[in-house]
Amino acid sequence: MIKCECGGTEFEVTMVTLSTVRVTTESGQPKQISGTKKEQPIEFNGSFVCVKCRKSYSETDIVKASEDSGQRRCICGNMRFTATQICYHDIIVDGYNNFQRDTGIGESEKPYGPYRCTECNAEYETLDNLDEK
């Protein structure tokens, strides 16, 4: 778990999203903006701000903190693994039941093994027996 110096564990982030906006114009000038619908985030933009004390952290700060947070490590020292996860998506289909777009993950199950190290390809059935940093 990542913690702020104040002990806070919740952070706000700004994400760049695609939006659909309807603009009503009058004489070529925008008059009214309505119908904004935010889609899936497409890019991180900015910093992490602690909800408790409002201190700002960069993405680099957060990555370093997560690396130092007691994660399990492969024998090569890496902390990232591929795994399998079942996810249930809500999707939009047309009148012929053809996929149109994904609206995001509605529900997901816990990831499970085999786990494969993304650096050295060592394979583990579980991460429970790996050393923590």
DSSP per-residue codes, 41-71: EEEE-S-EEETTT--EE-HHHHHHHHHTS--
Buried/exposed code over 33-71 (b: 16+ C-beta within 10 A; e: otherwise): eeeeeeeeeeeeeebbbbeeeeeebeeeeeeeeeeeeee
The pLDDT profile of the chain, 133 residues, written as one tens digit per residue, is: 577 878 887 878 766 655 555 555 555 555 554 544 455 555 556 678 888 888 888 777 766 666 556 678 888 888 889 999 888 888 888 899 888 888 877 788 888 889 999 999 999 999 887 876 5
Q: Which two tokens stand for residue 38?
A: 């935010």
- Using CA atoms, how far apart are residues 109 and 89, in angstroms rounded to an integer? 12
